[in-house]
Amino acid sequence: MAEEKKSRLYKLKPLIERWPAITKPEGHVNFRTKILWTLVCLILYFVLTNVMIFGLKGEFVDLFEQYRFIMAGASGSIMHLGIGPIVTASIILQLFVGAKIIKLDLTKKEDKAIYQGTQKVLVIVMIFVEAIPQIFGYLQPNDALVGMVGSNWANAVIIIQLVIGALLVFFMDELISKWGIGSGISLFIAAGVSQAIFTGLFSWLPVHGGGWGSWTLGNPPGGVIPGTYFYATELTLSDMTSWGYQTVFIGSPQIGYTNAIVPLIGTILIFLIVVYVESSRIELPLAHGKVRGARGRYPIRLIYASNIPVILMSALLANINMFAMLLYQSDLPLLGNQWWIGKFDTTVSTQPLAGGAWYLSSPGGVNYWLMPLMAGGDGNHSSIQFALKVIIYLAVMIIGSILFAKFWIETTDMGPSAVARQIQSSGMQIPGFRRDPRVLRKVLERYIPVVTVIGGAAVGALAGFADCVGTVGKASGTGVLLTVGIIIRLYEDMAKEQAMEMHPVLRGFFGNE
């Protein structure tokens, strides 16, 4: 009977056991080794983002343009897909397990191993699912490559490079999770967003190309600091009153200047709010059951599921945008070329122009929704539609982040039962309660589910708010939110690793051998 109740995914067990994977360390990995492997992967990531796809046309359409920094990849490079396949595979499995379509009990070690193994197989599937559509009018081979090997083989060369890049990201993420510090996915996101923010702050290169000193009022320096200084010294009083103030403070879609003062203030504000929220926590007092005087605290953060829910939600929206674009340019019956799903003009941008995809796309800063809303519309959409777009986007981000937060804690040993077992195995207990995992679980159930919902809603609301205000370097509000949280968590993980080096007894409490 027990065998019949097992999930059908157990049929994949022979494949999972033979699947290529990074070997897990047998014992404790010291802090210096973890730092070394983390730095190696980070440097390799930056190198690969500058390795452009061989044989690619000079002009191409980026399907993930709006979500480029969330995808942790570089447009046109072999890292073009970034973490997209990894996150998409995680979303699919979490939704299927959460909806009980796939019957796995993730509190059981064997079921959890099948879940993680299936996710690795699904990642490979999603790499091909996201790579193959790229050659249909988006990442096209140049004439030289087509002339050498023919059209079909030229497309295959592009796909192979995309697959290799995505596989490298997948294995680097696994390498960091087993031999390094933190999460590879998070680290790559933070690296890309940090680079974009730095460039958005200090770049002196003109927005539309050119070198030092070739600036004009219609082609200012791209960075906030040099751009603001340039406008302050070059604009006349009449220019300032007619269009200058708007351009300096909120940017100008006509000029293409987006790194203005309001997005800078929004970036700083999100940074300060996230730092404050990350420090908010509930601390449960703990005492050792046998060693008198040995006390500690178990912190339950307000953002308990970290920033993972926002990563998953943003990746889901990126995939919705991609498939809406593919459907609009297809001839499928009922779904092909339907404006209500999403209307696009890829000769201008991958930003949807109308339909459901438009309501689910990022507001992109005050210039792209607040100004049209105040002006009564932009000719294509009314002010009511712009208001609905912001409301729908914020609602989807908040509700989606809550759902993914709940799924995430159940799949990563962060639920009340798993935490109770960790505390029990370390020899600690809550003073005044019996030393029993069931008692611990009941105490934790008062806090963890509630904090998970509040934390998921908080990160969703912060990401949505930042996307509405705009950010420096077009890093997206979600990207800035994630980066600040990732850097704080990385610092705390490093501190925890150092603490375990000094006090090996702590390894059992943190779940390490």
Which tens digits make up the pLDDT trace of 35-56?
A: 999 999 999 998 998 899 999 8
In a domain, 4, yes or no: no
3 state SS of 220: coil
User: Within a 10 A sphere around the Cβ of 298, how many other Cβ atoms?
Assistant: 20
Indicate if 166 and 273 belong to the same structural domain.
yes
Tokens of 390: 């912001």
Indicate if 34 and 111 belong to the same structural domain.
yes
Q: Which long-range contacts (CB under 8 A, 24 or more apart) does 482-485 make?
A: 482/70, 482/186, 482/189, 482/190, 482/193, 482/307, 482/310, 482/311, 483/189, 483/190, 483/193, 483/194, 483/197, 484/270, 484/271, 484/274, 484/275, 484/278, 485/274, 485/278, 485/303, 485/306, 485/307, 485/459
Indicate if 72 and 132 belong to the same structural domain.
yes
CA 461 to chain centre: 15
Q: Mean pLDDT in the chain?
A: 82
pLDDT in tens, 178-194: 888 888 888 888 888 88
Is pLDDT above 90 for 164?
yes
Indicate if 42 and 164 belong to the same structural domain.
yes
Packing angle between helix 84-98 and helix 109-131, nearest 10 degrees?
A: 130
In a domain, 22, yes or no: no
pLDDT in tens, 470-490: 888 877 777 888 888 888 888
pLDDT in tens, 311-331: 788 878 888 888 888 888 888
> DSSP E strands: which ranges in 75-121?
none
- Dihedral angle of Cα 502, 506, 512, 513, to the nearest 10 degrees: 80
Q: What is the mean pLDDT of residues 115-128?
A: 88
Q: What is the mean pLDDT of residues 365-369?
A: 83
Indicate if 280 and 416 belong to the same structural domain.
yes
Element (H, E) at 326: helix 308-328
Q: What is the pLDDT of residue 3?
A: 46
Is pLDDT above 90 for 6?
no
- CB distance 163 to 170 below 8 Å: no
Burial of 76 (0-12, 13-18, 19+ CB in 10 A): middle
Indicate if 325 and 381 belong to the same structural domain.
yes
Q: How far apart, in whole angstroms, are the C-alpha atoms of residue 176 and residue 412?
A: 17
Q: What is the pLDDT of residue 59?
A: 79
Instruction: With cut-offs at 50, 70 and 90, classify the pLDDT of residue 13.
Output: confident
Final residue of a structural domain among 258, 291, 323: 258
- Cβ contacts of residue 341 below 8 Å, gap of 6+? 324, 327, 328, 335, 355, 356, 357
The number of folded domains in the chain is 2
In a domain, 6, yes or no: no
Indicate if 383 and 395 belong to the same structural domain.
yes
- CB distance 115 to 93 below 8 Å: yes
3 state SS of 168: helix
Is pLDDT above 80 for 257?
no
Q: How far apart, in whole angstroms, are the C-alpha atoms of residue 342 and residue 354?
A: 6
Indicate if 284 and 137 belong to the same structural domain.
yes
Is pLDDT above 90 for 157?
yes
Indicate if 250 and 263 belong to the same structural domain.
no
Check which CATH number belongs to the domain holding 403 and give it.
1.10.3370.10
- CB distance 344 to 329 below 8 Å: yes
In a domain, 10, yes or no: no
Give percent above pLDDT 90 in the chain. Answer: 15
Final residue of a structural domain among 258, 290, 325: 258
In a domain, 455, yes or no: yes
pLDDT in tens, 80-104: 988 888 888 887 887 777 667 777 7
Task: List the one residue out of 26, 63, 14, 113 whose CA is nearest residue 321.
Answer: 63
- CB distance 132 to 159 below 8 Å: yes
Indicate if 332 and 416 belong to the same structural domain.
yes
Indicate if 113 and 184 belong to the same structural domain.
yes
Residue 223 belongs to what domain range? 204-258
Q: How far apart, in whole angstroms, are the C-alpha atoms of residue 298 and residue 418?
A: 14
In a domain, 77, yes or no: yes
In a domain, 105, yes or no: yes
In a domain, 5, yes or no: no
Q: What is the mean pLDDT of residues 202-222?
A: 84
Q: What is the mean pLDDT of residues 453-462?
A: 89
Instruction: With cut-offs at 50, 70 and 90, classify the pLDDT of residue 292.
Output: low
Q: Which residue has the higher pLDDT, 281 or 392?
A: 392
Instruction: With cut-offs at 50, 70 and 90, classify the pLDDT of residue 4.
Output: very low
- CB distance 88 to 319 below 8 Å: yes
Q: Which long-range contacts (CB under 8 A, 24 or more apart) does 338-342 make?
A: none
Indicate if 195 and 276 belong to the same structural domain.
yes
- CB distance 63 to 322 below 8 Å: yes
Is pLDDT above 90 for 64?
no
Residue 166, CB-side half-sphere exposure with 13 Å CA sphere? 28
Final residue of a structural domain among 240, 258, 276: 258
